[in-house]
Amino acid sequence: MIGETLQLGLAGLGTVGSGVYETLCRNRELLEARAQISYAIRKVAVGNLARKRDVQIAPELLTDNWHELVDDPDIDIIIELIGGTDEAYRLVKAALMAGKPVVTGNKAVLAVYGSELFKLSAEMNVPLYFEASCGGGIPIIQSLQNSLICNKVQSIAGIINGTSNYILTSMKEQGLPLSEALSNAQKLGFAEADPSFDINGWDAAHKALILAMLAYGTPLSPDKIHVHGIEKVESVDISMAEKLGYTIKLLVVIKHHEADKALELRVQPSFVPQQHLLASVNGVFNAIAVKGDIVGETIFYGRGAGKNPTSSAVIGDVVLAMRECRLNGYHTGFLPYTKELAVLPMGETVTPYYVRFDIHDRPGMIAAIASMFAKYDVSISATSSNFGYVDEDGVQHNHLVFMVHACKWVRLKYVLRELRENHVIDRLPVVFRIETFND
């Protein structure tokens, strides 16, 4: 029985918002038949009423004041797609305070204000749904909340920024420098005019914080996560990685260290073994590997961004919200369930490493560097060198690579700092973590 028609309020009519509006209108008969719920879009809030839009919408539906959505007693559910942080935060908070369930695809607002909003959602017993905030059309949120609910999540590792993945794929397959690969991504619409958050790793970091809060039921803030982007990835490292049996990917790594009762949270370009499934995730695609104590490792794969995949995730949450509106207090919106966990200091994190030095070709260099590794008990598994370039003074520079066995990051930092202070090397080397996925 379909029953009373539920009223929806949509805030934001940009790329994703217009896709959500069009799909809700175009596929209404299908959605109502599958969900067994009747719905209508009552009001749409936009930033500029005079702006020309690709989507056809009745003028009487539009408002430039999102408060009208919150204050309208007939609107049952708010869909927040305005983007940004501060204004979106005010909208979501006001909706929750008004007792209206919220569906959002806004990763930034949840990364910055998620702890407060999740707490408010729990206190008001008003759900906040956010499937589209992580991985676009990949159903990772619902999977963590439902399908994997009996598992203690041991780790999450993934590629969750399509722009950086497209750039790294282009650098590897076409031999392009980063700047040219980025330019091509912008021309194809895979990167924004300002791609800073994609390149510097913070888009992926926002998503990582949301996944970590969900998987471990704990509040987190952006200052808790270690973030490095792909700005310093060079063609020589991509080529060396391939020769050594690896692929470079911008990885999100979330691990629970049971003994320390702490989370490891980091985003950085890493060496991924070519035989691991994440190594074969190319172009704008995303993939997230979740390891649970019961299920083992599962991998979720799909398009991580774009109008249609994100709209699909938003509408999935809208249908879920409509169904749960009728269940008298029951909902699957996130509820924090543990106290705040400590975050493992980066110096205590352990992986193997790839370390590349650009050195003058002179006798004794390799021995001098190797002796410093030995001084700090950092074990070398392999070395490799090849020609780099000849500088303007005619001095030859070589690329000297050390593959290092797993050790604490702080120990490797001591090695590199002393090498620089003792003028054994002229500049700090390029360092990449090597992910083994064994723990």
Annotated catalytic residues are 207
Name, in order, each residue with C-beta under 8 angstroms of 38's C-beta and a sequence gap of 6 or more: 2, 3, 4, 5, 6, 32
Distance CA 229, CA 250 (A): 7
- Quote the tokens at residue 311: 């709209």
Tokens 């002796």 — which residue?
A: 371
Distance CA 117, CA 96 (A): 8
Distance CA 309, CA 137 (A): 4
In terms of Cβ atoms closer than 10 Å to its own Cβ (0-12, 13-18, 19+), residue 187 is exposed
Q: E strands along 25-136, which residues?
A: 39-45, 62-63, 77-80, 102-104, 128-129
Q: Which residues pair with 102 in a beta bridge?
A: 78, 128
Give the CA distances from residue 221 to residues 204, 210, 256, 376, 394, in Å, rounded to whole numbers and listed in that order: 14, 10, 17, 34, 50
Rg over CA atoms, the chain: 24
Closest C-alpha to 11, from 75, 82, 76, 85: 82
Q: How many CB atoms lie within 10 A of CB 283?
A: 13
Per DSSP, the chain holds a count of helices (H) and strands (E) of 14, 17
- Quote the tokens at residue 87: 């204004």
Q: Which residues pair with 36 in a beta bridge?
A: none
Helices (H), 275-359: 307-324
Closest C-alpha to 211, from 274, 283, 135, 287: 135
Q: How many alpha carbons lie under 13 Å from residue 88 in its C-beta half-sphere?
A: 22
DSSP, res 430: E
Distance CA 135, CA 162 (A): 9
